[in-house]
Structure 1
């Protein structure tokens, strides 16, 4: 599985866990269907889940006129994933994590999601 697809699947799993309050393994099974699991996808899912509090704190410090609790779930999930990659995945450059998050925001969010995600993440790299 290519990393872009792994990120997309990881996003879908994390989103489902938050929206439906279901077990992570059940969400992974549902998202993957017949597709084989991927180590990078699993790392993102379990890493974001394990570091959620640290990630939310870091994101909160870079939000203007928003709180982490008020963020739409699409943007919050993508920000968590990107910040996790930037802070915990050594072989992913920050700009790649940002670009991937923005691309996924354009697919899963609304017309403003990509710009919002880009703005928050760009502040974090400065």
Structure 2
């Protein structure tokens, strides 16, 4: 599985987890067939396990917005991207931003990509 597809599936899974009472163990096989892609699994589990740290970092970059006010899909994509920025140092900053914008094109509306790009661009490149 390519990383882009893994990110798409991760967004779907994280969105589902954020909007239902499902556990990770229930949500993963609902979205992903076996064998489970390791990159996909690391994105879902990592974003979920580090949600407090991700949300804290994300909230510090939001201007005039709170996490609760964000549209659910943008919040999900931002959480995934911030998780990657913080914990996947092997992935270039620019790639993470581009992938997040592409995910917005896939799942959001025409304004989503610009908003997400603007928030993520406030994170310093390592």
Task: Tell me if both proteins adopt one fold, taking TM over 0.5 as the criterion.
Answer: yes
Aligned to 1:89: 88
Q: Which whole-Å CA distance do the structure 1 matches of 2:9 and 2:107 have between them? A: 12
Shift of 1:87: 1.1
Shift of 1:16: 0.4
Asked if 1:80 corresponds to 2:79, the answer is yes
Aligned to 2:107: 108
Partner SS state of residue 53, structure 1: helix
Aligned to 1:29: 29
The unaligned stretches of length 5 or more in structure 2 are none
Q: Which whole-Å CA distance do the structure 2 matches of 1:101 and 1:87 have between them? A: 14
Q: Which whole-Å CA distance do the structure 1 matches of 2:56 and 2:111 have between them? A: 23
Partner SS state of residue 67, structure 2: coil
The unaligned stretches of length 5 or more in structure 1 are none
Aligned to 1:42: 41
Partner SS state of residue 122, structure 2: helix
TM-score (norm 2): 0.94
Aligned to 1:4: 4
Following TM superposition, where does structure 1 have runs of at least 4 consecutive aligned residues deviating by more than 4 angstroms? Answer: none
Q: Which whole-Å CA distance do the structure 1 matches of 2:34 and 2:71 have between them? A: 28
Q: Which whole-Å CA distance do the structure 2 matches of 1:63 and 1:46 have between them? A: 24
Shift of 1:96: 0.5
Q: Which whole-Å CA distance do the structure 2 matches of 1:2 and 1:35 have between them? A: 15
Q: Which whole-Å CA distance do the structure 1 matches of 2:19 and 2:46 have between them? A: 18
Shift of 1:35: 5.0
Q: Which whole-Å CA distance do the structure 2 matches of 1:23 and 1:47 have between them? A: 14
Aligned to 1:15: 15
